């Protein structure tokens, strides 16, 4: 087994003290489109505490979000938030730490997660929606950091390897992987490109400038989609093919179907939400969940 000295808090660190954990909060915002223009308003604070709340993910019907919450330096659990009822429930309550909840494409009522087991290994599990019946999906992998589902059997995966991480295409049937990038140089944000089974990820050049890349699973080609603004590496796809980012408290989007090749400002939340980075967009594209932070970006 590979030795892991990380926790999946979107920050990979060891020997943490509580004072070093970044306080992050989750917000919900309405997204609207009219006459070709995008707007966003009605920001709602989902969490409100002094610790780590992160990794929001929408349910398949968009009625709720799941997220990870970590009140101390040793253990994280998963929670759900019902958008209609504005109700929060704890999903897991275990000695292990659970992160990265996401609906499994081929199940109606199961989530995939990354769990940090008692031996320190970071394994890929499935659980029921109520947090019960955990079962490993990839028994031979023990250093999983981030992932995204491409279809029922294929995933994009960030695997810890001690030299910057490795980016893989992973097939569940049969259980095998294709190495995309072996020694770092890519970001934590992996996503399925809408309308395809292709993977998007962020690649860093020698000057640390980030670009959103497309990896085609059929012909194994890599092409650049768009360069990121300075200091930005997190993004989310909307169902209509727009890419959203947060930059200095403002929400921007880029339309891959447009020929302008420019980021367009949607709304300024610098005074209400402040800086935010991680995000998720609902299946209908009418809601966006963002993660705010104070001080330096986690």
Each residue's pLDDT tens digit, 16-57? 333 345 789 999 999 999 988 999 999 999 999 988 999 999
> What's phi and psi for 87, nearest 5 deg?
-120, 135
Q: Which residue has the tokens 């309308």?
A: 195
Tally the domains of the chain: 1
pLDDT digits (tens, 9 = 90+) for 123-154: 999 999 999 999 999 998 999 999 999 999 99
In degrees to the nearest 10, what's the CA dihedral of 117, 118, 119, 123?
A: 0
**CB-based contact 146:154 (threshold 8 Å):** no
Q: Average model confidence (pLDDT) for the chain? A: 91
User: Does 2 fall in a domain?
Assistant: no
Return the H-helix or E-strand segment holding 202.
Answer: strand 199-204
- Supply the pLDDT for residue 258: 85
What is residue 142's predicted lDDT score, i.e. its pLDDT? 96
More confident residue, 21 or 254: 254
Q: Is residue 3 domain-resident?
A: no
CA dihedral 265, 266, 269, 270 (to 10 degrees): 0
- pLDDT at residue 170 greater than cutoff 50: yes
Per-residue buried b or exposed e for 11-31, using 16+ beta carbons within 10 Å of the residue's own CB: beeeeeeeeebbebbbbbbeb
Question: Cβ distance 236 to 243 under 8 Å?
Answer: yes
Alpha-carbon span 164 to 14, nearest angstrom: 15
Look at residue 281 in the predicted model and tell me its pLDDT: 98
Domain presence at residue 207: yes
In a domain, 5, yes or no: no
- Cα dist. 242→44, 70, 97, 237, 256 in Å? 22, 31, 33, 6, 6
For residue 295, name the pLDDT band (cuts at 50, 70, 90).
confident
Give the whole-number percent of the chain exceeding pLDDT 70: 93
Whether residue 160 lies inside any domain: the answer is yes
Q: What CATH number does the domain containing 265 carry? A: 2.120.10.30
Structural domain of residue 145, as residue ranges?
Answer: 18-293
Instruction: Specify if 8 maps to a domain.
Output: no
pLDDT (average), residues 205-220: 92
Whether residue 96 is contained in a domain is answered as: yes
Answer yes or no: is pLDDT of 12 > 70: no
pLDDT score recorded for residue 72: 75
pLDDT of 21 reads: 57
Q: Specify the pLDDT at position 111.
A: 98
């Amino acid at each position: 087994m590979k030795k892991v000295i990380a926790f999946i808090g979107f920050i990979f660190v060891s020997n943490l003290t509580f004072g070093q954990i970044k306080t992050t909060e989750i917000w919900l915002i309405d997204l609207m489109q009219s006459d070709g223009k995008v707007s966003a308003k009605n920001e709602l604070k989902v969490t409100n505490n002094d610790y780590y709340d992160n990794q929001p993910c929408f349910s398949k019907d968009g009625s709720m979000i799941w997220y990870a919450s970590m009140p101390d330096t040793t253990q994280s659990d998963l929670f759900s938030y019902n958008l209609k009822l504005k109700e929060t429930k704890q999903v897991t309550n275990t000695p292990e730490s659970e992160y990265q909840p996401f609906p499994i494409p081929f199940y109606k009522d199961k989530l995939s997660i990354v769990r940090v087991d008692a031996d320190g290994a970071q394994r890929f599990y499935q659980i029921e929606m109520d947090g019960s019946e955990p079962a490993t999906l990839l028994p031979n992998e023990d250093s999983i950091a981030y992932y995204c589902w491409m279809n029922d059997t294929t995933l994009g995966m960030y695997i810890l390897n001690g030299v910057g991480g490795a980016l893989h295409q992973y097939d569940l049937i049969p259980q095998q992987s294709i190495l995309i990038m072996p020694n770092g140089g890519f970001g934590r944000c992996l996503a399925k490109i809408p309308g395809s089974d292709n993977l998007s990820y962020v690649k860093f050049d020698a000057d640390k400038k980030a670009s959103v890349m497309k990896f085609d699973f059929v012909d194994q080609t890599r092409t650049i989609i768009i360069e990121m603004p300075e200091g930005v590496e997190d993004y989310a796809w909307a169902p209509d093919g727009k890419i959203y980012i947060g930059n200095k408290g403002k929400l921007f989007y880029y339309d891959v179907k447009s020929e302008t090749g420019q980021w367009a400002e949607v709304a300024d939340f610098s005074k209400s939400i402040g800086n935010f980075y991680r995000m998720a967009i609902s299946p209908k594209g009418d809601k966006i969940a963002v993660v705010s932070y104070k001080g330096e970006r986690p």
